[in-house]
A and B are shown apart, each in its own frame.
Chain A
């Protein structure tokens, strides 16, 4: 079943030297599965995620032939309809907990704000639900974390708080933008298994945006590889090593490996035909 369908998505920003297209004709379908979007900085992967929620500020523009979520046309939805979708049906975990949590509000207040305002829950019930959400992301002392301010949490804790916050309304689709890039490998593995469990148990759809091809290969079902605003290759994650596109191969080869050769790492060659084709 298709949860989200995107056809020929374009995101354009005006600039002094003419319009700049950050996303140039991206199409994909997502069921209740884990879809990875990988690419370097500036490849348009974050903009694709934000465009789905229509979180592109003017003068940036979103255009597409079609963008539907669960039968609802996202392009035609009114601001009020979009607000009803955001958070409740489609949630997004932003990249950096340092910037996306409110620094002057305790974690508990931030977690219960939505429950109290949107779901009109009482204080005690909201707190109970928030603590349950923190437990779901493996925070061991939720009571302390509820009373803490964001600066008192480590990066890994902050990231888990963000995930907990997004999961409280039980969305059907979670867009996770580099949810683990600020974390250590050991914590990263933990956060990924939390997300994995949620996809499996709740049948949630997940768009996992990352620059780390290795991580995406291991964690997702399908991978879109983006370069300069276009999807250059779409693959089943298990076939990643058999990737054909020179850009995908370049991204794979430039990573150091334990026990690998210590010769200079192959650097991504952007002089091929594919790079010219991708040029605006």
Chain B
């Protein structure tokens, strides 16, 4: 049994009489302690899958099971203890008028967990932020520091599964490296399972054991890490994504080849 089992999932949005199928019959399985990537262009439905797991998108067909059990609706507290999400933009995902202390201790208060004081201090240390940041507001932090706070917040309840929605796309390259290293270290230390969305194939390649390429809401191709690295993809779309991947531009530039 896999930890996350998604079977023929469809998500359909209805707005102004228009029907927009965002995810169409996508199936995937993520093993415990695995890091699984979703990659594709905007509008390919990759983030919608994460939102559907959290109950933030209208599921119109198929099923999502975690640990073999279907998810209750609404998701409830037991779900938040197991699954947490880190959003793309740390500028909008943190409450601007809450100090870090309040942001980090709120999940503990909701779940009636004690020892908030020590846990907040520890959480800041775990993501590499100085303890003096505890009573600061998000606007006093840089983008990279904010994303560290968002990761710390997601880890407050010690979940097994982290859903990562483009966790570094709003950050500079140098800061991206720090945040990716942090995520890799936390996963190794805590045995976390990652379901990670990115449009950057190089980031997915660095972080994930398997990757699902998506386009127009459909699953196009699933690739193991070794196959991605060796460019053994079978579909034209996965190939075009690979060819357009930014890290290959360096090789092109080095060879003096211009588009």
Contact = CB atoms under 8 A, between A and B. Distances in A.
Interface residues of A, number: 43
Given A186-B41, A215-B249, A259-B205, A266 B177 contact: yes
Interface stretch (A16-24, A63-71, A131-139, A247-255): A247-255
Nearest to A187: B41
B241 A256 contact: no
Contact of B42 (A155, A254, A264): A155
Contacts of A267: 174, 177-178, 181
Interface residues of B, number: 43
A213 B254 CA distance: 13
Contacts of A260: 202, 205-206
Given A265-B177, A268-B177, A211 B244 contact: no
B244 A256 contact: no
Contacts, number: 125
B198 to A, nearest CB: 10
B172 A211 contact: yes
B143 interface: yes
B230 interface: yes
Nearest to B174: A268
A185 B241 contact: yes
Given A255-B173, A267-B178, A154 B43 contact: yes
Nearest to A264: B181
Residue of B172, B175, B207, B242 with most chain A CB atoms under a 10 A cut-off: B172
Contacts of A41: 142-143, 172
A117 B241 CA distance: 43
Interface in A158-201: 183-189, 192-193, 196
13 contacts: A184-B199, A185-B200, A186-B240, A192-B259, A238-B253, A240-B253, A250-B174, A252-B250, A255-B177, A257-B247, A259-B228, A264-B185, A268-B177
